[in-house]
Chains A and B, each alone.
Chain A
Amino acid sequence: MAGRESEYDGAVNPDLVSDQSLKLQDQSTHLTTTANAAAGGLEITCFSELVDDATFHLQIIRFPKQIYAWIGCNSTKFGDLYAAASTRPSNTIGVASILGGSSDNTGSGIARRLVLKTGLNVILACSIPKNSPMLEV
């Protein structure tokens, strides 16, 4: 996914007049919808990408202080659901499996890394199989 434009600039522009703007990127099937309601910004990104003979489907919903992401690997199954957040005061990351899954699954590692990178609470649904470290990256 090198060279992809980041969808998370972290900024919500309250001055936008229209409630919704739709951006369609031509290079890939990449669809971003931004809804700027008075209560706060919301950004929805959906795209699919072929990586190492595996097709990934992603749906990412960016809330002001939370991220929801679904990752489908060669399927549209919902997969296992994980919740991850940083804990106080030690600033470590806590991950919990809330539907299916276990603590050593691929999804728990991805959720943890998302919290590390973004600093936001993460809810992740993931159907990436175990023992596929190249896919995880």
Chain B
Amino acid sequence: MASQIGTMGTILHARKEEGVAIHPTFNVSVIFGKRDEPMLVACARQLIEHISSSGSSRPLVLSLGLKDHSMETMKGIVSSVIEHRLW
């Protein structure tokens, strides 16, 4: 959960999909909030890919309540979450 606006903001769900392809596929969706902000989806996608490449198959529920949706902000959030990883 990352917030700058005093609420949870947009909630996203990301999971790795079981499949026969060599490369894993991921399903990322907004389940509550802004659905027209691609950077939020990109942020969740990066995190679930990192979780998956670390060997964990856990799904991710991510909430982002941000004032700006710039690439720098997203990169900062991704690196912070990875730095404090729990998987």
Contact = CB atoms under 8 A, between A and B. Distances in A.
A39 B3 CA distance: 10
B1 A63 contact: no
A63 B5 CA distance: 10
Interface in A30-69: 39-40, 61, 63-66, 68
Contact of B7 (A63, A78, A81, A98): A63
Interface residues of A, number: 16
A123 interface: yes
Given A78-B61, A81-B11, A81-B61, A98 B4 contact: no
B19 interface: no
B4 A99 contact: no
Contacts, number: 35
Contacts of B11: 81, 98, 123
A121 B7 CA distance: 10
Contact of A99 (B1, B5, B31): B31
B58 to A, nearest CB: 10
A94 B8 CA distance: 18
A83 B6 contact: no
A83 B32 contact: yes
A39 B6 CA distance: 7
A137 to B, nearest CB: 27
Nearest to A64: B6
A65 B32 contact: no
Interface of B: 1, 3-8, 11, 13, 31-32, 61, 63
Given A66-B7, A68-B63, A125-B61, 4 more contacts: A39-B6, A68-B1, A81-B61, A99-B31
14 contacts: A39-B4, A39-B5, A63-B7, A65-B7, A66-B6, A68-B1, A81-B11, A81-B31, A81-B61, A98-B32, A99-B13, A99-B31, A121-B7, A123-B11
